[in-house]
Amino acid sequence: MSSATAYTSLSSPPGFPFPSHQSRCFSPSSLSISFPSSSSGGLRLCSLCCQSSDLSTISSLSAMSNSSSSSSAIDFLTLCHRLKTTKRKGWINHGIKGPESIADHMYRMALMGLIAGDIAGVNKDRCIKMAIVHDIAEAIVGDITPSDGIPKEEKSRREQAALDEMCEVLGSGMRADEIKELWLDYEKNSSLEANLVKDFDKVEMILQALEYETEHGMVLDEFFLSTAGKFQTDTGKSWAAEVISRRKSLAGKGN
């Protein structure tokens, strides 16, 4: 074998089949690839030799892929900017000046996921992610509230279509799929994490209502009445009870 050319014949590791033409000719530039080894559970290292032109092509393709990925990420994040600027309609309808944005609401919910105590069977990291994405479709459809008179099924349909559009912007792949799955889980209230994040949504709302009552000297009974008896978890019930207790205490001082 000459120093200018090396031949290698590779047997396919389990789950990583090579094309049928397994004997290939390469020049001396070295490239190492690791495959899982079914026997040892570790890695099996195969040293290949590639022509410099092949490496250049691979590098160019990688750069193109990274550029496309970066472009999609920035497009997606730019679209999400609307979450920072769109105000929550419930507060607007009650005459609150400078109300919180959709992103404000989701951020404090994510903090709730961070500080909540451990609960058997609940993945806290998943709760934080779910809190961050549960209202993400509102970047396109806006904050649809019961006062808009839109049926729940139609609201869900619009938000699902908006979510699909946003994930198209992000590009198909693992992250887009994860966002869709988290959103759908929350929408269907189909897991322990969704139960908890649904409670965070209500707790955050009544806490914000209490803060606006204190700040503006208003009475926002509607938000407390609409959530009463609807908390699903011990954490949600405990936190809601604390907010209501503080509200009663403040009301007593006012009298």
pLDDT tens for residues 47-69? 434 345 554 554 554 444 555 68
The answer to whether the beta carbons of residues 247 and 213 sit under 8 Å apart is yes
pLDDT (0 to 100) of residue 54: 54
- Whole-prediction pTM: 0.74
Calculate ∠ Cα 215-218-221, nearest 5°.
Answer: 120
185 pLDDT more than 60:
yes
SS3 of residue 91 by DSSP: helix
Question: Which of the pair, 30 or 191, is modelled with greater confidence?
Answer: 191
> Is the pLDDT higher at 34 or at 78?
78
Task: Label each residue of 4-23 as H, E or C.
Answer: CCEEEECCCCCCCCCCCCCE
Cβ atoms of residues 197 and 113 within 8 Å: yes
What gap in Å lies between CA 193 and CA 128, rounded to an integer? Answer: 9
Whole-number pLDDT of residue 252: 83
CB 132 within 8 A of CB 114: no
Look at residue 24 and tell me whether its pLDDT is greater than 90. no
Q: Which of 33-37, 70-74, 233-237, 243-247 has the lowest mean pLDDT?
A: 33-37
The distance in angstroms from the start CA to the end CA of the chain is 97
Q: For residue 172, what pLDDT is reported?
A: 76
- Point out the least confidently predicted range of 32-46, 164-178, 182-196: 32-46
For the chain, domains (ranges, CATH) are 6-47 (no CATH), 70-247 (1.10.3210.10)
Using DSSP bridges, classify how beta strands 43-50 and 23-26 pair: parallel, antiparallel or unpaired. unpaired
pLDDT digits (tens, 9 = 90+) for 103-148: 999 999 999 999 999 999 999 999 999 999 999 999 999 999 998 9
The better pLDDT of the pair 11, 164 is held by 164
**The tokens of 16 are what?**
């990583």
Q: Residue 60: exposed, middle, or buried by beta-carbon count in 10 A (0-12, 13-18, 19+)?
A: exposed
Residue matched to tokens 């020049």? 27
pLDDT on residue 65: 53
- CA atoms 90, 91, 94, 95: torsion sign: negative
More confident residue, 237 or 13: 237
State the chain's mean pLDDT as an integer: 82
